[in-house]
């Protein structure tokens, strides 16, 4: 196996990656959508937006792979960032650099790889958009041009993201080490620690904007049957896809968390309960209107939601409790519904 070389300007490259504050950040609905589209276009099993950190490659967006990171020493993307054009391996089994790579011999059993570097505005390769498949493939000239175009879209979005106000607020609020312990590795959402961190800050922002703090408690219906009938690996895929759908159904400024198990909590700024219920209904429909495709099987799943607005001057813990009680009411009233807490 050939480990990737270190770029000559690695210290500068790493510093720019750190300054962009992309590592250990929550899932992004735009990038989640883009990797899904790329997978459909190129008919491969896995598509990643991979960032090359000091000793790992970490996936900002992924589809078709459960892991959120791998070692840099065995990464294909570590080779790809050494150039500026797409790095393509048509068949790893016939390539002496990769035929005995652990990612070839073991899951995900890579046979085909294509990675196009994602460049910062300074021209440094921060990571790649990459295609992976367990079967060997060859990209036509047209496919290579299309792949380059897709990578340009990712690259441009990351540059815009680095300049927006929300990213600046995230930098000010959390260090990278703090983010690491607040991210759920399976769904790439904030975990319960993240919920506890953002809850008082979201309340303060609501006050500053003369808005109300809204809370949605969301719980998948009959999730235990998924694990019992299809296995825990399928259950993990359901949780991952559920996180994607909730994220896409709410707004960029809303905070989506996985508080544990199959339960998700969303923090929102709203004008009134009608706006809150409208967003909650979007989340419910995002789950119920289209089956989840898990390992070539279609699963019809629904979600129950408890919604509430904070009533000053109640403690934030009481607001969460009322949303939780509304969730239990939704479960008791037939599931696949939204209930507003009294």
**pLDDT 10s digits, 55-70:** 999 999 999 999 999 9
Q: Is the dihedral of CA 67, 68, 72, 77 positive or negative?
A: positive
pLDDT at 44: 98
Nearest-5° angle of CA 49, CA 147, CA 50? 15
CATH domain 184-340 topology = Alpha-Beta Plaits (3.30.70)
pLDDT at 168: 59
Asked whether the predicted pLDDT for residue 217 surpasses 80, the reply is: yes
Cβ burial, residue 332 (10 Å; 0-12/13-18/19+): exposed
* Multiple choice CATH, 10-168, 3.30.1360.30, 3.30.1300.10, 3.10.20.30, 3.30.450.40: 3.30.450.40
Instruction: Name the segment(s) of the chain with CATH classification 3.30.450.40.
Output: 10-168
Asked whether the predicted pLDDT for residue 296 surpasses 80, the reply is: no
Going by C-beta distance under 8 Å and a sequence separation of 6 or more, which residues neighbour residue 198?
190, 255, 257, 267
DSSP labels for 130-160?
EEEESS-----HHHHHHHHHHHHHHHHHHHH
Asked whether the predicted pLDDT for residue 292 surpasses 60, the reply is: yes
Write a three-state SS string for 327-340.
Answer: HHHHHHCCCCCEEE
The residue annotated as part of the active site, out of 90, 165, 177, 262, is 262
Q: Which residue has the tokens 């690259």?
A: 155
- Predicted structure pTM score: 0.83
Task: Report the C-alpha gap between 305 and 264 in whole angstroms.
Answer: 9
Quick check: is 275 catalytic?
A: no
pLDDT tens for 152-195 read 999 999 988 876 655 556 656 677 788 889 999 999 999 999 99
Instruction: Name the segment(s) of the chain with CATH classification 3.30.70.270.
Output: 184-340
Average pLDDT over residues 102-126: 96
């Amino acid at each position: 196996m050939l480990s990737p070389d270190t770029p000559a300007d690695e210290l500068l490259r790493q510093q720019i990656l750190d300054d962009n504050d992309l590592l250990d950040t929550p899932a992004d609905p735009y990038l989640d959508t883009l990797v899904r589209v790329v997978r459909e276009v190129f008919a491969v099993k896995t598509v990643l937006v991979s960032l090359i950190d000091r000793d790992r490659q970490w996936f900002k967006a992924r589809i078709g792979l459960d892991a959120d990171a791998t070692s840099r020493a065995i990464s294909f993307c570590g080779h790809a960032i050494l150039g500026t054009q797409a790095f393509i391996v048509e068949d790893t089994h016939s390539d002496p650099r990769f035929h005995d790579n652990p990612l070839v011999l073991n899951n995900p059993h890579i046979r085909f790889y294509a990675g196009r570097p994602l460049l910062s505005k300074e021209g440094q390769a921060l990571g790649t958009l990459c295609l992976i498949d367990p079967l060997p493939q060859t990209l036509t000239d047209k496919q290579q041009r299309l792949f380059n175009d897709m990578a340009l879209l990712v690259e441009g979005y990351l540059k815009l993201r680095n300049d927006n106000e929300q990213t600046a607020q995230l930098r000010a609020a959390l260090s990278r080490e703090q983010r690491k312990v607040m991210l759920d590795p399976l769904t790439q959402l904030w975990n319960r620690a993240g919920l506890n961190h953002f809850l008082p800050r979201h309340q303060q922002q609501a006050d500053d904007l003369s808005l109300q703090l809204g809370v949605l408690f969301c719980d998948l219906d009959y999730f235990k049957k998924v694990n019992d009938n299809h296995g825990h690996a399928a259950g993990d895929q359901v949780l991952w896809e559920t996180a994607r759908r909730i994220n896409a159904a709410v707004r960029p400024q809303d905070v989506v968390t996985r508080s544990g198990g199959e339960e998700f909590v969303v923090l929102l700024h709203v004008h009134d309960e009608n706006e809150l219920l409208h967003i909650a209904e979007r989340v419910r429909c995002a789950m119920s209107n289209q089956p989840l495709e898990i390992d070539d099987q279609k699963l019809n799943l629904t979600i129950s939601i408890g919604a509430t607005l904070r009533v000053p001057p109640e403690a934030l813990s009481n607001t969460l409790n009322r949303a939780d009680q509304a969730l239990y009411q939704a479960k008791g009233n037939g599931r696949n519904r939204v209930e507003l807490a009294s």
